Structure 1
Amino acid sequence: MEHRIGVQAPARVVWEVLADLDSWSQWNPLYTKAQGKLAIGGALVLTLQLPDESPETIRPVVTDWTPDSLLHWKLTLAGGLVRSVRYLEIDELAEASCIFANGEIMGGLLGRYVAKRMGRKMYRGFAAMGEALKVRAEARWRAEGGNPTSAS
């Protein structure tokens, strides 16, 4: 499942918001705390807050990252019965606009069950994160002297 949203700010600005894990608690409704290292094999510690669920600490591992472009991590739960790849990707459209896509691919013996059971909440969480990132990146771009519009 995936959520995509247009952002009226350069990919660089969107990346700066994403890469600043320490500030996620200030803007990100899906991951209310984030720590770790953005490097291949880097361990992350995230507090996941799905809508209408209790917060949960997860410990994914970064599998890929490219500044101004993407961050991917993998997570294994329930002794490997649930495996997921989470992706946050920025597609630059023009000098000051891009698309932010965030989603998850689930696998493992119970992956399909978890995706079906939690899919709507996960999508709502992805959408909330995308909307919040859009607001934060456009505000940062405006503060730098850019001119985001209200269109997305």
Structure 2
Amino acid sequence: MKPPQAFSMGAGFKIKTKDGGGGAPAPPSGVKIEHRIGIQASSDAIWELIYDLSTWKDWNPLYVEAEGQVRIGSALALKMVLPGDEPMVIRPTVLEWVPYEQLHWRLRLMGGLVTTTRYIEIEQLGPASCVVSNGEIFGGLLGPYVAKRMGRKVWRGFEAMNQALKDAAEQRWRAEGGAPTSDA
């Protein structure tokens, strides 16, 4: 039997089914939606914005309010606004975090019929050059259905968040005397 194939519905929009087979620990299975963006700033400048949840309201159009601490097992309270939808408060639990590299959390919806693993990962390419992967894996019995139904809105939310993160991180990097940026 052939494994499911990934498909692209637009630049940077990917939905991929993981089979989780062999070798290393299996990644979460389900449907993956991800947006990636290049940011010309240090991973420090990017991480400071991600880590400080209290400032998300100042720059983040997807999560307009955020409370909690970035600690493994800690509960967060996030007011999420997907494009075209009413705001919704979600209460995920921090799964993992590595300073200057990644933040992962898990959310269970509909009595566990939908389980999502959300991630924001920073890949440093150089002193002032990073790629940020912003995505979510939809698992559980109804996860693939929810991902298919809401995928475009979720991706647009990730895209808006990434662009706002890029703008804020590059502005912070410039203010701290860093260069170059994508505005140069």
**Equivalent residue for 1:64?**
96
**What is the TM-score when the length of structure 2 is the normalising length?**
0.81
Q: What's the CA shift string for 1:84-139, capped at 9, x where partnerless? A: 00000000000111001100000111101100000000000000000000000000
Q: Which residue matches 1:4?
A: 36
Count of aligned residue pairs for this structure pair: 151
2:136 is matched with 104
Distance 2:180 2:76 in 1: 31
1:46 paired with 2:46, answer: no
Residue pair 2:174, 2:181 contacting (<8 A) in 1 also? no
2:171 and 2:132 map into 1 onto residues whose CA distance is 16
Which of 59, 77, 94 in structure 1 is aligned with 2:109?
A: 77
Q: Write out the 4+ residue segments of structure 1 that deviate beyond 4 Å after TM superposition.
A: none
Higher helix share: 1
SS in 2 for 1:90: strand
Relative contact order higher in (CA < 8 Å, ≥ 6 apart): 1
Task: Provide the alpha-carbon RMSD of the alignment.
Answer: 0.8
- In the alignment, the residues of structure 2 paired with residue 75 and residue 30 of structure 1 have an alpha-carbon distance, to the nearest angstrom, of 16
Number of the residue aligned with 2:24 = none
- If the length of structure 1 is used for normalisation, what is the TM-score? 0.98
Q: Which runs of no fewer than 5 residues in structure 1 stay unpaired?
A: none
Aligned mates of 1:79, 1:149 — CA distance in 2: 45
Query: Does structure 1 conserve the Cα–Cα contact (< 8 Å) formed by 2:41 and 2:181?
Result: no
- On the 8 A contact 2:36/2:133 being kept in 1, the answer is yes
Whole-angstrom CA distance in 2 between matches of 1:127 and 1:148: 23
